[in-house]
A = this chain, B = another copy of it.
Amino acid sequence: MKEDEPRQPLDFFFRPRSVAVVGATPNQAKGGYAIIANLLEGFPGKVWPVNPGRKEVLGVPCFSSVRELPEAPDLAIVFVPAQRVPGVVRDCAERGVRAVLVESGGFAEVGENGAALQAEMVNIARGAGMRLWGPNCTGLVNSDPPLFTPFMRLPGMSMRVAPGNLAIVAQSGMMAAGFMIQYLLAGYFKVSKACAIGNKADVDETDVLDYLADDEPTRAVVLYLESVTRGREFLQAVRRAARRMPVAVLKAGRSEQSARAALSHTGSLAGNDEVVEGALRQAGVLRVSDFGELMALGRAFSLHPEPFRLSTLGGNRVAVITVTGGGGVVLSDLLQETGLRLAELAPSTLERLRQEVFPEWMGPSNPVDIWPAVEQRGLAALERSVEIVLSDPGVDGLLLLPFASRMVRDYPFAAMGELLGRQDKAVVSWVFGDRRFFEQFDRSMEEIGVPVFPELRLCALAMHGYLHYARLRRRVAERG
């Protein structure tokens, strides 16, 4: 494990060699049970339960205090009532713990008394040179080596988090846990790290982003934030991260009423939204307004985190190949809203479509409506039109609108995958039709690196994300 030794403070959270769980219990109704049960299942390092009322927890000898532990753990996870937390943090400091993750709630988010407790424990931690994560959060997940800290019991969860390149950061605890469960169980994306920063009394979004910007497996990051604590430093971290990987942000608290809601939720000020907005745009960050959108960008980038090859610096010209004329029309509106344009296909492209794909009576244009051609020539019309359209230098991205039915079994996925690899242009697919074939379609497209969404709005958003990031990287490369 020598080469895996923690090197910087946040490593003790994400890659600890040993973990103490303060509040561990065999009582399955409690979060302290979930935390230790999840850990024992997947975490490869040492695990010590701490609870003065127990001799052992789940077969592991239990200690009455962190101070009694045989070694100083890299990480202590704390899930006990708020009033007891400062004392536990003091114990951690005395025992030489490197990092403390407080998952308990009842701090700044519940008023003055809680805020005082929070300030007290931060002071203790800082005085001892320990970093403190939380409170009021579900903690974090690392996919390799496996670490899964949330206080909900999810049997086999550590094993089910497939290592990938996406990092997810959320300010809200429950939310992040809900997300991880919902999307990870569904295999929506593969993650490098996922975490909830809660009240961020010490470790905040800037620390985490700074860490992720240098994290080797992480190639894309999506953040849900209710506030930005250190504006200037955050902007620097975002800029640095965005030079290496796509960054997408859902920043809540855009309206006055939601800013008030954020204050009562995590005890933090939402900040001046216009300033945040401008700064994020300047840094090249993608901004969205709903969780589903954030997750969609996460999925798109987890499938293809690299910038695509653009014909021009402006690269925003999209071709649409569709079996539904109506879908093409609605998508055109949505593309325009995100600043993308329908590509003007070259005369030679149109001529090839006319000769090789379309029925005699039909003139091709963009969106390329291939339904009559599919009726006449079968699915070869799809493969051929993809090849023709992708080779048009005036096309930066391609949106596919196919129909899911039992025909999915015969879709030319492998051939399309080869065409995609050859051109390296951004490709996103919608799926509609018979839901029974969605999953099969989805999986087959995933294998060739194409994200699939059941909503056109999300397709337009993902394409925007891909081309936006491709332009950003190209500018960075050209200007240095």
Please list the residues of chain A having a beta carbon within 8 angstroms of any beta carbon in chain B.
Answer: 82, 105-106, 109-111, 113-114, 152, 170-176, 178-179, 181-182, 185-186, 224, 226, 250, 252-255, 257-258, 260-262, 264-266, 289-293, 323-337, 341-342, 361-363, 365-367, 369, 371-372, 403-405, 432-436, 454-457
Closest B residue to A105 by beta carbon equals B372
Contacts of A176 in B (CB 8 A): 326
The answer to whether A226 and B326 touch (CB under 8 A), given A106-B361, A361-B110, A372-B105, is yes
Closest B residue to A453 by beta carbon equals B292
In the complex the two chains form, is B252's CB within 8 Å of A329's CB? yes
The answer to whether A323 and B174 touch (CB under 8 A), given A113-B361, A261-B328, A436-B185, is yes
The answer to whether A333 and B255 touch (CB under 8 A), given A182-B433, A185-B434, A434-B182, is yes
Of all A-B residue pairs in the complex, the 8 with the closest CB atoms, nearest first, are A172-B326, A265-B325, A258-B332, A175-B326, A292-B455, A252-B329, A255-B336, A174-B324
Q: How far is the CA of A170 from the CA of B106 in the complex (A)?
A: 52
In the complex the two chains form, is A329's CB within 8 Å of B456's CB? no
Known: A170-B326, A257-B336. 4 other contacts (CB 8 A): A106-B361, A253-B329, A264-B363, A266-B325
CB < 8 Å neighbour of A262 from B329, B336, B341, B456: B329
Closest B residue to A436 by beta carbon equals B185
13 A-B pairs, CB-CB below 8 angstroms? A173-B326, A174-B326, A175-B327, A178-B432, A252-B329, A252-B333, A257-B332, A261-B328, A261-B332, A264-B365, A265-B367, A289-B334, A290-B457
Q: How far is the CA of A210 from the CA of B329 in the complex (A)?
A: 25
Closest B residue to A186 by beta carbon equals B435
In the complex the two chains form, is B261's CB within 8 Å of A367's CB? yes
CB < 8 Å neighbour of A185 from B258, B369, B403, B435: B435
In the complex the two chains form, is B329's CB within 8 Å of A292's CB? no
**Least distance between A262 CB and chain B CB atoms (Å):** 5
The answer to whether A361 and B432 touch (CB under 8 A), given A291-B330, A325-B265, is no
Contacts of A372 in B (CB 8 A): 105-106
In the complex the two chains form, is A178's CB within 8 Å of B324's CB? yes
Contacts of A325 in B (CB 8 A): 109, 172, 174-175, 261, 264-266
**Least distance between A170 CB and chain B CB atoms (Å):** 7
Contacts of A405 in B (CB 8 A): 152, 181
Contacts of A365 in B (CB 8 A): 260-261, 264
CB < 8 Å neighbour of A432 from B182, B366, B432: B182
The answer to whether A330 and B258 touch (CB under 8 A), given A324-B175, A403-B174, is yes
**Least distance between A298 CB and chain B CB atoms (Å):** 15
CB < 8 Å neighbour of A265 from B178, B264, B326: B326
